[in-house]
Structure formats: structure tokens, C-alpha cells
Amino acid sequence: MLPPTQQPVSTPTPDSVLANTALDRTLIAILDFGSQYSELIARRIRETQVYSEVLSYRTSVEQLRQLNPKGIILSGGPNSVYATYAPACDPEIWNLGIPILGVCYGMQLMVQQLGGQVEAANTAEYGKASLWIDDPTDLLTNVEDETTMWMSHGDSVTALPPGFKVLAHTANTPHAAIAHHDRQLYGVQFHPEVVHSQGGQALIRNFVYHICECEPSWTTEAFVEEAIREVRAKVGDKRVLLALSGGVDSSTLAFLLHRAIGDNLTCMFIDQGFMRKLEPERLVKLFREQFHIPVEYVMARDRFLERLQGVTDPEEKRKHIGHEFIRVFEEESKRLGPFDYLAQGTLYPDVIESADTNVDPGTGERVAVKIKSHHNVGGLPKDLRFKLVEPLRKLFKDEVRKVGRSLGLPEEIVNRHPFPGPGLAIRIIGEVTTERLNILRDADLIVRQEINRSGAYREFWQAFAVLLPVRSVGVMGDQRTYAYPIILRFVSSEDGMTADWSRAPYDLLETISNRIVNEVKGVNRVAYDITSKPPGTIEWE
């Protein structure tokens, strides 16, 4: 169980998931009880080339039978199973006759529902713990004794249900891993899905391959073939409009759709004036001349900049930019249309994170919270008369990169660092002006040039410049200066959910600093941000 301060992730309703699942695909279903790691479990399973989906813990046994999963994983969660309104799965799940793995809260729920006992632990266990293996078969095959696993629980199993035995223990947890071998029911008190668990992926592979007997059928090639078939079946000979941003998601989607429907795809690139230096021109030329995918270029810089005059609050910036984007999009789609479908680069984390808040209808108890409304899922006006095409909604970011690469996208797009939708507007703290945009574009270009020249581009999750709306005193050529500071923000991360500041080489930082101060008019100071996420965020706004 996670610490009470951690907020859980909400999940799609079962019906929405069932509607988007290919029933003939090998599947491991994950029932989410509000864990911050549920999405990570799905990613780890997919790394074994087996398809997985995150479902609500309310998914009924009948719905699970329709999905026909090869196995089920019960996630962790922030609650105690003995609490009055603790979330619980359909108790008939234990009679499905398929392998089930409970992780942390999921294990405790399994124990409680099958006749065991769970109580508050005398000593809570958070962080790394050595795992001593008592039974090295089945689930723990090839998992080394005394391997490190990641613990995060304040409750513990104090009595096992009938037929269960202990597979492993730690210094503070006598039932760290358990099993009912005959019924293929397994539980672990630790989190094998996190990178801190050294033997975690071996355990997951044992469950997926050895216990559930899955075949590695979730491959890039299989996805591309299936996605093209689905798009053609859904769209037919109708026209599709795609708002192209130049990022890996929209670019991969453009390639996929163009292969599926050819000239029935229209790509629209709206230049709102907040892109990085030379990017709009490079993007349009690349798609038109090299990829032979037509792009409608819409110049709208002036109207976006005018919309932001006097706006300093970051959320207000995002709202103004979003509203103006919709207006431009509506105008241009009418000019270019009519279109029957709108294509969006919605990814699987977007679907999970944008799901509605889970509230128990009987008690009003909140069991999972909404993380955010993603722009692809909830940002468009309801009166836009398009049907949606979202071929990437089953994929994680790393899977999109693999698909893009297999479709022939160049590495400069496939490995492009994440770039915010509002662009440089939220990397300028305070009001956005033409002067500040030009300064930041020049500084950002130097950052990109130097990390590429050093060969370090792929070592960073993101590496960019931020402009602060203050001035400081400096001296250049024996003359006093009073100019803006530039902040460098380089971070390392796996998925952007958490991040650490990157220990960039000093000589690289020195080169970037010298070039910015010497070449960018209006800047006389460069600083380096050494804040992790949390407590900070990756972007400054």
C-alpha cells in the first residue's frame, strides 16, 4: 500500500476499455486500485512483448470473461483493505480459473477475500529491502536470493488463507511473496514494476511466460498492421484532418494515416509563433519534399501574440493559447473541408490520466483522483462535428517511438525531446513579447546545437532554456550591462512523471553559457536549474 500522501491514478471505465480492445489479442489485464504504479505495471508487461491494459477495479467478472485475459494483476493502492469503504474487486474473480498476481494492496485484498488476515504493521516498510527466497519455483524462478525489492506499505499479512504458502520474506515482512500453486494465485508485498526492484522484471516475465503461458505477440510490426486495418475499416473513403505539431506523436500518426488512407489525409500545421527557431520551416519542408505528405501551413503568429498581451499567469497563458488554437483550427478546417474525421495523437497515458474521478456511488468516498485533462482527450469543444480517429491510444511513448522508427521517421523526430504544446510561451516567465521570444529562440538554438555537437542529446529527457522577466547587472567590454538571465534546465527521466536534474558535463555548460552571453543580445547571465521533480516540475510554467 502506498503512503497516504500519494494520490492514485484514475482509470477508464470498463466499457470504454472493452470498446477499444482487440479480443483476439493475448492480454494481461491490470485491475487498478488507485496505484501510482499501475501504468508502470502495464509498461513492464509490454516490455515482454505481451499486450496489457489497465482497467478499473470495478470491472466485473462478466466483462473480464469477454476480454478473455491470459492473466490478471491486481495493483497496489493507497487504502487499507480492512477500512470500511476499501475498494474491492468482484469476488468471483477467484473462480475464473486463470492466474492472478496481487501486488501490494492487491495481495492484501486477495488474502482478505480468501480467508486470511491483514493488519496494520508494527513497522511500516518503505524503500529498498532485501528479499530472502523460501521457494525458488514458479513466480521466483531465476530471481536471486537477497535481491533488492522496493517496499511501500503500512499494512501486512498476518495470516495466510487456506492452501497458501510463503515464497519469500524480508527482515520486516514474513509474507513478502505468497502463492497457492494449485489455483495459480500469487501475491507480492513489494513493487516488482519499479526500477529499484532488481529482480522485478524477472518476476514479471515468470508470471507472463511461465505461469500465464503468453506468447510474445505484441510487436511493433503487428501493431502497425492492425492499426492500418482498423483505420481503413473505420474511415473508408472519407477525409481525415490532422493537426500536425512536429512532435513524435503527431508525426508518427501522420505517417501511419498516410500509409493507411493516402491523399484522404490532410495535415494542418498552425504556426502560433511559439516554436523554436527554424522549426516551422524545417517541419513543413521535411513533410512536403522528403516525405511527400501534403501540409497546409497556417501563419497565425500575430493573432496569438496579440491574445497574450498583458497575460502573465501560466494557466491563463495556456487557456488563451488553447482557445485561440481552436478558433484558428475551426476557421481553417471549414476552409479546407469538409472533413468527416479528426485524427489525434492520443496516447494510452492520456486516456488513463484523463479518466473521470472514481467515486463510490453508495458512499461518496473518493477512491481515485483525476490527474489532468489532457489536451487530446478533453480540450476540444463539444460542438466540433468530427468523429475521432486515435490509432495511437493503445501505446505508451516509448512504443510510439518504435512505431515511428518502423514507419521510416528520421531520428531527429523519433528522438525529439518532449516540447510543450504552448511552446516557448511557457518558457518565458511572465508576459510574452516579441523581444523575449527572439531572445529565447536564439538561446534555445545554441542549447540544441551544443548538446547535439557534444553527442549528449539522447542522454537527456529534456534540455532547454528558460527566460526570466528580471534583469541583472553585468559587465561586458568594460561596459555595465543590465540584461536578462537565461536558466538552463536539463533533466533525466523515464516517463516525465518524475525527473532528476542532469549532471551535465561542466565543459558543455561552459560552452553553452559563453555562446549565449556572447551571441544573444539582451542576455548577460546563465544559471543552471538543479531542482528535481518533485518538488519542482520539468517546465517552469
Q: Which candidate in 169, 175, 180, 191 is catalytic?
A: 191
Q: Which candidate in 53, 125, 193, 324 is catalytic?
A: 193
The CA–CA distances, whole Å, from 344 to 383, 390, 395 equal 17, 5, 13
The answer to whether 52 and 29 are in contact (CB under 8 A) is: yes
C-alpha–C-alpha distance, residues 207 and 259, integer Å: 37
Grid coordinates 496494520 are at which residue?
120
Please list, in sequence order, all residues whose beta carbon lies within 8 angstroms of the beta carbon of residue 72, skipping any fewer than 6 positions away. Answer: 28, 29, 30, 31, 64, 93, 96, 98, 99, 100, 101
Query: What are the backbone angles phi and psi of residue 143, rounded to the nearest 5°?
Result: -90, 120
Q: Which candidate in 89, 104, 212, 267 is catalytic?
A: 104
Long-range contacts of 170-173 (CB under 8 A, 24+ apart): 170/125, 170/129, 170/130, 170/131, 170/132, 171/129, 171/130, 172/121, 172/123, 172/125, 172/129, 173/121, 173/125, 173/129
Please list, in sequence order, all residues whose beta carbon lies within 8 angstroms of the beta carbon of residue 51, skipping any fewer than 6 positions away. Answer: 25, 26, 27, 28, 45, 217, 218
Element (DSSP H or E) covering residue 283: helix 279-285
Q: What is the DSSP string of 106-150?
A: HHHHHHHHTT-EEEEEEEEEEEEEEEEES--SGGGTTPPTTEEEE
Q: Is 193 a catalytic residue?
A: yes
**Cis-peptide, bond into residue 535, ω within 30° of zero:** yes
- 156: cell is 501486512
User: Cα 300 from chain centroid?
Assistant: 30
Catalytic residues, which ones? 104, 191, 193
